[in-house]
């Protein structure tokens, strides 16, 4: 889910804002994430999911969490720092069962939910960037 958010934010948020994503646990890339991001012209390129421990820079003004577990971990990690930790409740599309199309619909819902929150709450670009992380 973190890479979801990172790719969308890097395309929509104003230049000069440092954006990184990380999860509470290590994991593999989810092909459903790739599929629904690609539908919107986003690409993860070679990026792989990271954990909080793998983020090299700890200088943040804001941490956005999507699950209660991630929120608790972020609060614990930042308890002695002066920064905001915000929780955006987000459905977990990995728990959805059914046809491929039903599963993709759940992932699309998350993609659209995150795009809306990012656009509403973070300073935006004049126009979304055509390039994505695929060039990294």
Q: Domains of the chain, with CATH numbers?
A: 2-123 (3.40.50.2300)
Q: CA angle, 39 as apex, 33 and 44 as ends, to 5°?
A: 45
Note the pLDDT tens digit of each residue in 68-96. Answer: 999 998 888 888 888 889 999 999 999 99
pTM: 0.78
Range with the poorest average pLDDT among 35-39, 88-92, 110-114, 122-126: 122-126
End-to-end CA distance of the chain: 19
In angstroms, the CA 83 to CA 77 distance is: 11
Q: Contact at 8 Å (CB) between 132 and 45?
A: yes
């Amino acid at each position: 889910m973190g890479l979801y958010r990172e790719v969308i934010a890097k395309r929509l948020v104003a230049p000069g804002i440092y954006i990184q994503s990380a999860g509470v646990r290590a994991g593999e890339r989810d092909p459903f994430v790739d599929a629904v991001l690609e539908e919107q012209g986003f690409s993860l390129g070679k990026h792989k999911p990271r954990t909080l421990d793998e983020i090299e820079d700890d200088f943040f003004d804001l941490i956005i969490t999507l699950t209660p577990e991630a929120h608790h971990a972020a609060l614990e990690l930042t308890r002695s720092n002066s920064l905001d930790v915000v929780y955006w409740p987000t459905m977990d599309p990995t728990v959805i069962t059914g046809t491929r199309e039903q599963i993709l619909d759940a992932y699309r819902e998350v993609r659209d939910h995150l795009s809306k929150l990012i656009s509403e709450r973070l300073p935006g670009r004049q126009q979304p960037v055509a390039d994505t992380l695929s060039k990294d």
